[in-house]
Structure 1
Amino acid sequence: MSNVLFSESFRSGASVDRPGRTVAMRAAVSAALVALTVGAAACGGGAPGNGAPGAGGGMMGVPVEAVTLEPRAVERTAEFVGIIRSRRSTVIQPQAEGYLLRILVASGTRVSTGTPLFEIDAPVERAALAALESTLAARQADAEFARQQAERARALLEVGATSQQEYEQAITAQRTAEAQLRAAEEQVRQQQAQLAYFRVVAPSPGIVGDIPVRVGDRVTRSTTLTTIEDNSTLELYVNVPVTQAADLRPGLPVRILDGRGEVLASETINFVSAAVDDGTQTVLVKAPVRPDGFRTEQSVRAVIVFGEEEAITAPVVSATRINGRYFVFVAQPGEGGMTVARQKQIEVGRTVGSDYVVTGGLEPGEQLIVGGIQKLADGVPVMIMPAGAAQAAAGPAGAAAGDSAAGGR
């Protein structure tokens, strides 16, 4: 339309104006035509191709990094809470009742077998032992006198100064006195053993635990005086729900993790209970543990490795969680030969290292975008670059492309 207007003006001006004005009008018309031609060329542009600038200066794709998804072997694991326990843990309880007279050790003391730990007051038992020891002394005297009488009767019998009957009576008296002596000795030993219960000693070597009792407390056979722990032999106890116990067997690997997920120890299961705990519906699993850095009754994270399986994994950094659902971007062919980003919802399972195990939403062979996803949206043109190069290439051109796509949304 502009061309028509300019032509009309030219024709009308040529018919009435002077020759100088005609030349000026022709120059103006020529300048306007050049401007229109340049503007049309700038607005037309060429068709872009595969995220790169087109022949006429099309939009550049957002630089991204991508990986081709392939199934790989991943461990089939499950995590549980385990307890470290000592195989030589002893609870110290008295075998006698009475008032606590002395505490002979302190918490944290390393003791050996037979080390005295506590002493309980036992006045009645001591008095009974004293009485029995007096009786024993009398029986010893009776036995000695009976032995002398039997020797005298033997000597008299040999010279015919006494009868056979008197000699046999002396022998019988000696045997009776010796039997009474042995009975008294047994009674003394029994009372001494009973009295020994009032002195509590360590039944095994180890370290003394907490001592909850105090001097003067009355203790019974059910009172816990302390514990003795020997951390040289430890075991890991894991209660596995019966629904996950089908694949349990001795020889499976088990890893002990710290709070950050770092592996503290790798052990092997050596015991799987044949019975299910009636109260918790769990199966007890045990594994020996080296004592390095562990303590008795310590709670740990235990990961049991049941085997391996083929699965697709996606880096954690490639997934975005929105309203409890996970989304990723994959690179797919677009219109005009471009490569565009397509957002897909996926289903994820457990985490293996820094990857999610994908249980749905992705197929082998797809190109998963793992870098440069900050400015992506569904349908944005992308330019796949080598690993590590997308961040460096995301300069003004990449930022402009991303901002343009964001403006389009």
Structure 2
Amino acid sequence: MRRVRVWAAWLAILAMAGCGNRKGSDGPQAGAQGAGGPMEVEVIALTPGEVRDTGEYLGQLISRRTVTLRPQVAGYVQAIRVRPGEQVTQGQILLVVDPRQERAALRAAEAQRSSSVANLEYARRTRERAAQLYREGLMSRQEYEQAVAQASSAEANALAAQAQVQSQQVQLGFYEVSAPFAGVVGDIPVKVGDSVTPETVLTTVDQSRALEVSVQVPVERAVQMRVGRTPVELLDAEGKPIVSAPLFFVAPTLSGVTQLVEAKAAFENHAGLRAGQLVRTRVVYETRQALLLPTYAVSRLGSQSFAYTVVSGDGGMVAQRQPVTLGQLEGNAYELLEGLEAGTQVAVSGVQLLKDGQPVAPKPAAPKGAQQGAGVGGASDAGQ
């Protein structure tokens, strides 16, 4: 019995020591909570910012200079001097149609011109001699006039022969198909040896230095667009703008197929884009100033959105839950339509832990990057 009483005494002492340790470890926090100590929160003052009314659409890039090349003569393809997709310069020869027959015709025309020039020289000398003889009375007027007429005829024949040579030279030039401007060669559907006519498509040349973007927008949105003022942005895979250009065209009528309105903007291509490419675009219909509420300062209860403002209470600063009406999302902030005024102090940290009327210790918000980190979870259904 004595041993049992000793063990019981020891157990009692250990139990009291354990309670003392727990009280020592939990005491300060419990004391602070029991005393209702204010919660430290970061706050910002609401200020106006830029809000853009935008719409995103799929657009298509169009070359401002594109041409489909066809031969102006018939014949067989003798040579193809470029490859599809190759960058070419203005005047560079792309394809050659067999010109041998035309070269032969040119040589014949040049021979005829040489003969006409020789006849012209002879006729001119004859006319000069006839004029001398006529002045000396050794030739009749009829013979003199005949010599003058023969010289005039020889001149006409020489001019006609020269014109024929020039015509053959121009015609021979058609057998070499060249680039009308610098650009990129498209597909080449023909091959060496193929017979071609003036209706045969040889290739295309696109210039991607100056491009247009074509977008189709709803008719109710088209009334908000202004030529020269409404910008169109081309977006990358992350949604960031890489090109911005104002509209230069808004179709006056709807497309019969899509019932949408076509709008176009032109820009200098410095982003390596290609004609025919489909791109993600954003049309900025309107830019205005409005109050912006960071997303991490918003909490939700059902379908209603709230923000916690910091106001003076009986014992100091307290958090006050205010219903807000939000507009569109602009970056990392909502457009604030109703509920708060400019200059209002709004909590942006620990929102998920706040309760209506809770004492708080406000401090200025950290820089933007730190705010985003501190506000993670702020858009949850806090305060339920």
User: If the TM-score is normalised by the length of the shorter chain, which range does it land in?
Assistant: 0.5 to 0.7
TM-score (norm 2): 0.66
Aligned to 1:246: 223
2:96 matched to 1:96? no
RMSD value over aligned CA atoms? 4.6
Aligned to 2:149: 172
Describe the superposition over 1:11-47 as per-residue Cα deviations: whole angstroms up to 9, x where unpaired: xxxxxxxxxxxxxxxxxxxxxxxxxxxxxxxxxxxxx
Alpha-carbon shift at residue 165 of structure 1 (Å): 0.5
- Select 1:286's aligned residue among 244, 260, 265: 265
Q: Is the 2:309–2:322 Cα contact (8 Å) retained in structure 1?
A: no
2:333 matched to 1:355? yes
Amino acid at match of 1:282: V
Secondary structure, counterpart of 2:76 in structure 1? strand
Q: Is the 2:123–2:150 Cα contact (8 Å) retained in structure 1?
A: yes
Aligned to 1:215: 192
The whole-number CA distance in structure 2 between the counterparts of 1:392 and 1:153 is 110
Of the two, which has the highest radius of gyration? 1
Alpha-carbon shift at residue 363 of structure 1 (Å): 4.6
Unmatched runs of 5 consecutive residues or more in structure 2: 1-30, 375-381
Describe the superposition over 1:33-90 as per-residue Cα deviations: whole angstroms up to 9, x where unpaired: xxxxxxxxxxxxxxxxxxx968xx3777887666666665423333444445554444
The whole-number CA distance in structure 2 between the counterparts of 1:153 and 1:126 is 40
The whole-number CA distance in structure 2 between the counterparts of 1:213 and 1:320 is 66
Secondary structure, counterpart of 2:273 in structure 1? coil
The whole-number CA distance in structure 2 between the counterparts of 1:208 and 1:163 is 70
- Select 1:118's aligned residue among 83, 88, 95: 95
Unmatched runs of 5 consecutive residues or more in structure 1: 1-51, 394-404
Q: Is the 1:90–1:229 Cα contact (8 Å) retained in structure 2?
A: no
Q: Is the 2:299–2:306 Cα contact (8 Å) retained in structure 1?
A: yes
Amino acid at match of 2:73: A
Q: Is the 1:92–1:228 Cα contact (8 Å) retained in structure 2?
A: no
Q: Is the 1:149–1:170 Cα contact (8 Å) retained in structure 2?
A: yes
Aligned length: 336
Aligned to 2:204: 226
The whole-number CA distance in structure 2 between the counterparts of 1:270 and 1:310 is 23
The whole-number CA distance in structure 2 between the counterparts of 1:117 and 1:310 is 55
Secondary structure, counterpart of 2:191 in structure 1? coil
Q: Is the 2:124–2:151 Cα contact (8 Å) retained in structure 1?
A: yes
1:301 to 1:115, Cα distance in 2 relative to 1, 3 A: same
TM-score (norm 1): 0.62
Aligned to 1:32: none
1:265 to 1:381, Cα distance in 2 relative to 1, 3 A: same
Structure with greater proportional strand content: 2
Secondary structure, counterpart of 1:200 in structure 2? strand
- Select 1:185's aligned residue among 162, 165, 169: 162
Q: Is the 2:324–2:340 Cα contact (8 Å) retained in structure 1?
A: no
Describe the superposition over 1:118-148 as per-residue Cα deviations: whole angstroms up to 9, x where unpaired: 1112454344434434443443344344334
1:113 to 1:67, Cα distance in 2 relative to 1, 3 A: closer
